[in-house]
Copies of this chain bind each other. A is one copy, B any other.
Amino acid sequence: MTAAAPKSFEGLPAEKWIDLYTVMMRIRQFEERIMPLLKEGKIKGTAHPSVGQEAVAAGVCGVLEPSDYIVSNHRGHGHCIAKGMKTAEMMAELFGKRTGSNKGKGGSMHIADLDQYIIGCTGIVGSGAPIAGGAALAAKMRNTGQAVVCFFGDGGINQGVVFEAMNMAAIWKLPVIFVCENNLYALSTPVDKMTALKQLADRAQGFGFPGHQIAGNDLRAVVRATREALHRARSGLGPTLLECKTYRWYGHSAMRPDTRAYRQREEELEWRERDPVALAEKELGKAGLLTPERIGQIQREVAKEIEDAIEFAERSPDPDLPEMFTDVYAPY
């Protein structure tokens, strides 16, 4: 940082913003790197990359306390990275290795780390919402001051349990933040055909709690809105719905790279212009928090970290066959 750099910005210490930017870069590079690995078959199954949506994960998770919970969805790498998971463990998990965060038994759609208060990704769209509510209920009953973030998409917002969980959070004033990443499509299905609302944030009106639409590619806006929602949550005022408008750059998943059947090239290019990483660089640069040198340094550090993660994953052994039989039940 140059000598003239401010100590804080938007009420947060300068280092915090550097951290958030670093997290965005980490997500970006992690996701960009796994795609060729998926094609090569080194990463098995599928994965849902979140490139283009980094500001949501970084901004939301960046202002949480370590002991706040998050519940993620199928597009969850970014959330997990932002909440503090080690990329090496995540990468090993994608490789299905014994050293993976889930011992190679979960894979991309189930990455989790309870030590980081990440209750996990889930492959059933919407299913995390009541689980998030339950964690929030536990926090409330025990008076721990924890908040819980529940991530889901514009598709997930129409799942029965998401509605139910919103209602339960509303009546019990649970410390939940419902973060809807509205990337305009649920797989191939455009959001404006799947609700009749002007904005998804209005969904909250049907439950009696506040909902806000946010420019999801604007790190600052995400941070601001999350802090406000967190304040509500911790004050016992209940849930908030944050609709973060964003866009996924690539296909729905590694298995479905093509988007042309349902998205226009122009729209894709337009959103590429609104690259959240570039936007953060610009904003934080303008605020005197980031210099091009620092950016370059972060990029290199992160690149090294991801390469190390890949090497770690490659080097790690597969789980032994008997691992198949463990962890079905906790011992009793």
- The chain A residues found within 8 Å of chain B, CB to CB, are 158-161, 163-164, 167, 170-171, 193-198, 202-209, 238
How far apart sit A164 and B195, CA to CA, in the bound complex (Å)?
10
Interchain CB contact under 8 A, A202 and B196: no
How far apart sit A282 and B197, CA to CA, in the bound complex (Å)?
42
Q: Can you identify 20 A-B contacts, CB atoms within 8 angstroms? A: A159-B160, A160-B160, A160-B161, A160-B163, A163-B163, A163-B164, A167-B195, A170-B196, A171-B193, A171-B194, A171-B196, A195-B207, A196-B207, A196-B208, A196-B209, A197-B207, A202-B206, A203-B207, A205-B206, A206-B206
Q: Which residues of B contact A205 (CB under 8 A)?
A: 202, 205-206
* A269 → B minimal CB distance (Å): 28
Q: Which residues of B contact A204 (CB under 8 A)?
A: 206
Looking at A196, A202, A204, A208, the one whose CB has the most chain B CB atoms below 10 A away is A196
Q: Which residues of B contact A197 (CB under 8 A)?
A: 206-208
Q: Which residues of B contact A203 (CB under 8 A)?
A: 206-207
Q: Which residues of B contact A161 (CB under 8 A)?
A: 160
* A132 → B minimal CB distance (Å): 16
From B167, B195, B198, B207, A170 is in contact (CB under 8 Å) with: B195
* A207 → B minimal CB distance (Å): 6
How far apart sit A194 and B171, CA to CA, in the bound complex (Å)?
6
How far apart sit A197 and B238, CA to CA, in the bound complex (Å)?
13
From B160, B170, B196, B202, A164 is in contact (CB under 8 Å) with: B160
Interchain CB contact under 8 A, A164 and B171: no
From B167, B170, B195, B209, A208 is in contact (CB under 8 Å) with: B195
Q: Which residues of B contact A159 (CB under 8 A)?
A: 160, 164
Looking at A158, A159, A197, the one whose CB has the most chain B CB atoms below 10 A away is A197
Looking at A159, A161, A171, the one whose CB has the most chain B CB atoms below 10 A away is A171
How far apart sit A167 and B164, CA to CA, in the bound complex (Å)?
14
How far apart sit A194 and B196, CA to CA, in the bound complex (Å)?
25
How far apart sit A164 and B207, CA to CA, in the bound complex (Å)?
14
How far apart sit A196 and B166, CA to CA, in the bound complex (Å)?
10
How far apart sit A167 and B194, CA to CA, in the bound complex (Å)?
8
* A232 → B minimal CB distance (Å): 13
